[in-house]
Amino acid sequence: MLTAAELVRLLAAVAKGDRAAFERLYAATRAKLYGVVLRILRRPDLADEVMQETYLKIWNSAGQFDPALASPITWMVAIARNRAIDLVRKRTDISIEEVPEVLELASDTADPLATRERTEDLGRLLECLGRLDPDQRRLLLLAYFNGWSREQLATRFGAPVNTIKTWLRRSILAVRECLGS
């Protein structure tokens, strides 16, 4: 992947309608975005659709990207995830049965991260997630990575939806407190 500064420059060019820059942006980010949406959608045909919509949206909204407010890749990932989650919420035929166990994150045994992708912000977030109860940490990560609803999380954790709601709330506020912003 290109550096953040290079992605910012490409987005600025895309905002002016530069198709070559768009192609380079796609080449630099497609595997990351596809990995994100495929994990949520579990179906290549749906991931394909969401990829198209995501990049059309990026083409059209590149001018609204503000490097002061977001990193280019988190901005693009947010667009892709939003589309993917909208789609899974609209469909009821995507089963959670086939979803593999979530990556065990923030575990002491192995660092699953390629070091070049490990930013300071990510380090702080993982530290804060590490302070949560293991179940609550897993809850947040399953939601983020797999795009699960509260109902799906309730099934997975064998807990009532209201309990999941409470756990989510508690974890979210704890993470906010821990990150201090």
Partner 1 sequence: MTMDEDLNVLAAEYVLGTLSLEERQRAESLAQSNTDFAALVRGWERRLGELHAMVPSVEPPLEIFERIKQRLAGGGPGGQVVALETLRNRIGRWRSFGTAMAALAAVLLALLVTSVVRPDLMPAALRPNPEVIEVVRTIEKPAETPNRLVAVLQKDAASPAFIVTVDIATRTMTVRRVAAEEQAGKSYELWLVSKQFPKPRSLGLVGAHEFTAGMALAAFQPDTIADATFAVSLEPEGGSPTGEPTGPVLWSGSLIEAVPSAQARP
Judge contact between 82 and 53, C-beta under 8 A: no
Under a CB-based contact definition with an 8 Å cutoff, are residues 49 and 37 in contact?
no
HSE-CB of 75 using CA atoms within 13 angstroms: 20
Here the tokens at position 56 are 């059309």
Q: Where are the beta strands (DSSP E) in the chain?
A: none
Least Cβ distance, residue 97 to partner 1 (angstroms) = 19
Distances 18 to 11, 62, 73 between C-alpha atoms, Å: 9, 11, 19
Give the single-character DSSP code of 99.
Answer: P
Which CB atom, from 10 or from 36, has the smaller least distance to partner 1? Answer: 36
| Residue number with CB closer to partner 1 (9 or 57) | 57
C-alpha–C-alpha distance, residues 106 and 108, integer Å: 6
Return the structure tokens found at 148: 């699960």
Our CB check for partner 1 shows the closer of 9 and 61 to be 61
Tell me how far, at minimum, the Cβ of 119 lies from partner 1, in Å. 6
We find the least distance from the C-beta atom of residue 60 to partner 1, in angstroms, to be: 4
Work out how close the CB of 76 gets to partner 1 at its nearest, in angstroms, rounded to a whole number: 9
**Binding interface with partner 1 (CB under 8 A):** 17, 19, 23, 26, 30-32, 34-36, 38-40, 44, 47-48, 51-53, 55-57, 59-61, 63-64, 69-71, 73-75, 77-78, 81, 85-86, 89-90, 103, 105, 112-114, 117-119, 121-122, 125, 140-141, 143-145, 147-150, 153, 168-169, 172-173, 175-176, 179, 181
Please state the closest distance from residue 66 (CB atom) to partner 1, in A: 9
